[in-house]
Structure 1
């Protein structure tokens, strides 16, 4: 699989580049089996071009029985989503993660401690946005996204119009969007771009982003940041 391949929104043309890792070290045999056996049943619906060439919108009412939908973009190894799904069993969670090793780690957690309210899109969040109806998401999370530290790569970050515009479309008015990062320049770009996309920061002063949320669980990415001396920032926005 190429690391620069994906289908454009509601289009038959290959025109959307994907930057980042799709797979790391070789999966263990049991992890590969989880991907084959468990992942198809966890899909929120037909998302890929092969399964949904016309990019028909998902019937979330049928899939989730009218429950509130919370979306996590780039769930990493799934610690946060697994934790939140346990705290909120009446909420339907959709997690996006293109990195197969991380998806396999979440599937392992779900085998050990099932969360029937979790669904998984193992791919690019932009493809999911293409098939989500307007105003269907009740809360969204972007936690320790890939920082793309080089200046010429900042356009690849999630906090750009290409991603934030579709996110704004699929979220209900006045719903919450949480962002966590340990990269100061990612904080800068978040505070510039997210309000421009139609979200209002819920803090009053910079110190407000130092305190994590009351239902927060620290992830492996945060623990790595703390070991390496970086400061986590927790930003809360509301979709206007």
Structure 2
């Protein structure tokens, strides 16, 4: 009988408030295998407080081995968009952050299937990665269908708040692009209000996706339920 692979997944310690799920349905045998066999090589070292108690700077060249341009996807969900981007732009390094372990396992399966090699996976809070990246080190960032936190009292948990946006602005180069996709009108409102305050200029807000877009399961669900997607593009001020 085959033994179930053991995962070395270790979420970030609770050094700050975290809202949302880290675990969902029981993982399939294959998904446990992806976590045990693949995550170790793809996970950037020195991100967690346990590995880097002094919070020393982690340069992207240390992650990818060269000085290529680097993009960040915050909350990659099931990984469709991240893998599509990695395959479309093989010379770019893409770091994905996702604390939900089921999503991490799904992404790892897609990475295997696509054979992309220009990716790095942080299975934890994006804030911990942003803490240790150097100033002006990212060329693009994506926030694709983030958790909407629809209740008014939970809006401060959204990514589009100063707690997240100011660190993101710090690590993005002048002129770097920040893309946001959501089907929640109030999330669009808060995005348009808060992102410019963090040092970004609005480029566009449109119902039409970007030319290199791939439809994700979250977008497809929104369309089935009659919600209209919004695609918002910002540029980091120089």
- Short-chain TM bin: over 0.9
Question: Structure 1 segments of 4 or more deviating over 4 A?
Answer: none
Give 1:136 shift. Answer: 0.4
What is residue 75 of structure 2 aligned with on the other side? 74
What is residue 37 of structure 2 aligned with on the other side? 37
Name the Cα RMSD after superposition.
1.2
Q: 1:24 to 1:202 in 2, by over 3 A?
A: same
2:18 maps to 1:18: yes
What is the correspondence of 1:175-190 to structure 2 with a 5 Å cutoff?
A: 175-190=176-191
2:221 maps to 1:224: yes
What is the correspondence of 1:36-75 to structure 2 with a 5 Å cutoff?
A: 36-64=36-64, 65-75=66-76
8 A Cα contact 1:95 1:119, kept in partner: yes
What is residue 153 of structure 2 aligned with on the other side? 152
Q: Deviations over 1:76-98 (max 9, x none)?
A: 00000100111100000000011
| Structure 2: distance between partners of 1:168 and 1:28 | 38
Q: Deviations over 1:86-140 (max 9, x none)?
A: 1100000000011110110011111122110011000000000111111100000
Q: Unaligned regions of 5+ residues in structure 1, if any?
A: 8-13
How many pairs does the alignment contain? 226
Name which of structure 1's ranges 72-81 and 58-67 shifts more when overlaid on structure 2: 58-67
Q: Deviations over 1:132-169 (max 9, x none)?
A: 11110000000000000000000000000000000000
Give 1:15 shift. Answer: 4.0
8 A Cα contact 1:70 1:138, kept in partner: yes
| Structure 2: distance between partners of 1:150 and 1:62 | 40
8 A Cα contact 2:100 2:123, kept in partner: yes
Q: Unaligned regions of 5+ residues in structure 2, if any?
A: 1-10
Q: TM-score scaled by structure 2? A: 0.92
Q: TM-score scaled by structure 1? A: 0.91
What is the correspondence of 1:84-163 to structure 2 with a 5 Å cutoff?
A: 84-163=85-164
| Structure 1: distance between partners of 2:15 and 2:39 | 26
Q: Secondary structure at the match of 1:167?
A: helix
8 A Cα contact 1:94 1:120, kept in partner: yes
What is residue 233 of structure 1 aligned with on the other side? 230
